[in-house]
Amino acid sequence: MSKRDYYEILEVSATASEGEIKKAYRKLAMRYHPDRNPDNEEAEDKFKEASEAYEVLSDAQKRQAYDQFGHAGVDGSAGHGGFGGGGFADFGDIFGDIFGGGFGGGPRGPQPGNDLQYELEISLEDAFSGTTVDVRIPTKELCESCDGSGAEAGSDVETCPTCNGIGQVRVQQGFFAVSRSCPNCHGTGKLIKTPCKTCRGEGYKHSSKTLSVKIPAGVDNGDRIRLQGEGEAGEPGAPHGDLYVRIRVKEHEIFQRDGTTLFCDLPLSFATATLGGSMDVPTLSGKANLKIPAGTQSGQRFKLGGKGVKSVRSSHIGDMIVEVHIETPVKLTSEQKELLKAFDESLQGKHHKQHSPKTHSFFDSVKAFFKGDDEDEGKDKKDGPWN
């Protein structure tokens, strides 16, 4: 496959100045850089293509060869395993502006502390009403003996000669140059000759602390509560990280939850379902009376408005859905069995269809189904090719 024209790739004319070429490349690099397009092969290919074009057109000698002979004049000098020659400094300048010094620049500033996450399991009742919970978390604070420097008082702290205090080194990986933590100073940018005896040169002390966390009403699985500044300590002069308390709600014996809606399965006796009545059902805010109409069927649902869970993000309160399940009597006595048989026989009179409309509707459909099969079978025998 033939290569595209380098000027076309950078979207500039063949008479573009060096500044115009650099500006055009900056625009494309910002759009297609892999750091901004993770796992996007198309963007990565366009970034490589633009980088190759810039490497040639930003170099006066290579550009002259390309203008005169096309790709044949620069093949072997561009896009083969690196940025090539003196163009590397130009790339560093460009990416230093775009991505904040990842390809060069001065020493890094004090780094903020790491964020922490705490998994907190609570009951559905506590999620419904809200609560306050004490949690104990590990802490990482600056060492008081050395003020976080990691060096014994009076000893020197030297700038790392490997990274010149930046804390990172550039490593070439095929076509790309990436920044890695300096192996000599482990990213600190400094070397300690005499480590602090208290923290052994780490600059931090490890302990634990107890925090009181207010859980708002309505929280659900996966919700996170942020406690600003309660994470790990940062480097001297930098802020602490944050603590995120992630909520996990235990399964409940009676209720199931979906957002702000609660669900409850209610066993119902055959007599109550048939004759109707009322009964108290549990909710998370107390008992509620539920009217059961005569002739209630198993699986029928009833809504109790406003008996669900309050939304943690608004004043909306959900509903509770009660699904009834008619319980078949078990372990009947001989007398009860006889009474049940007599009752069943009493339903078989001339008005039997009105007592069990679903049953008769079903069997009427079954009869029609098999009748249709019988008619089709007879038709096949009459009209078959063998007749």
CATH class of 116-143+203-249: mainly beta
Contacts 24+ apart (CB under 8 A), 170-173: 170/103, 170/104, 172/82
Which pLDDT value is given to residue 227? 93
> For 85-115, how does the pLDDT look when each residue is reduced to its tens digit (9 = 90+)?
333 334 444 454 444 444 445 555 677 888 8
Integer CA distances (angstroms), 214 to 8, 127, 135, 240, in order: 59, 11, 11, 21
CATH topology for 255-327?
HSP40/DNAj peptide-binding domain (2.60.260)
Reading the block at residue 291, the tokens are 């009217």
CB 167, CB 116: distance < 8 Å: no
> For 263-296, how does the pLDDT look when each residue is reduced to its tens digit (9 = 90+)?
999 999 999 999 999 999 999 999 999 999 999 9
Partners of 192 in the β-ladder: 157
CATH topology for 6-98?
Helix Hairpins (1.10.287)
Integer CA distances (angstroms), 324 to 96, 202, 209, in order: 67, 63, 49
Reading the block at residue 121, the tokens are 């399991």
d(CA 153, CA 280): 73
d(CA 317, CA 285): 12
d(CA 373, CA 379): 10
Q: Do domains 116-143+203-249 and 255-327 have the same CATH topology?
A: yes
Which pLDDT value is given to residue 355? 66
d(CA 310, CA 325): 27
Interior angle at CA 200, CA 194 and CA 203, nearest 5: 95
Contacts of 120 (CB under 8 A, 6+ apart): 133, 135, 213, 215, 245, 246, 247, 248
The one-letter code for the residue type at 57 is L
d(CA 248, CA 83): 50
Which pLDDT value is given to residue 351? 60
Contacts of 149 (CB under 8 A, 6+ apart): 157, 192, 196, 203, 236
Integer CA distances (angstroms), 205 to 142, 197, 306, 324, in order: 6, 11, 51, 59
Rounded to two decimals, the pTM is 0.57
The H or E element that residue 225 is part of is strand 224-227
Q: Where are the domains of the chain?
A: 6-98, 116-143+203-249, 255-327
Per-10-residue mean pLDDT, the chain, length 387:
80 88 87 80 87 88 81 59 36 46 54 87 96 91 84 82 82 63 80 86 85 95 92 84 93 95 95 93 95 94 96 93 94 93 82 64 71 58 48
Per DSSP, the three-state class of 137 is strand
Q: Provide the CA 295 distance to its chain's centre, in angstroms.
A: 47
**C-alpha radius of gyration, the chain, whole number:** 38
Which pLDDT value is given to residue 89? 35
User: Tell me, what DSSP letter sits at residue 331?
Assistant: S
Handedness of CA 157, 162, 164, 170 (dihedral sign): negative
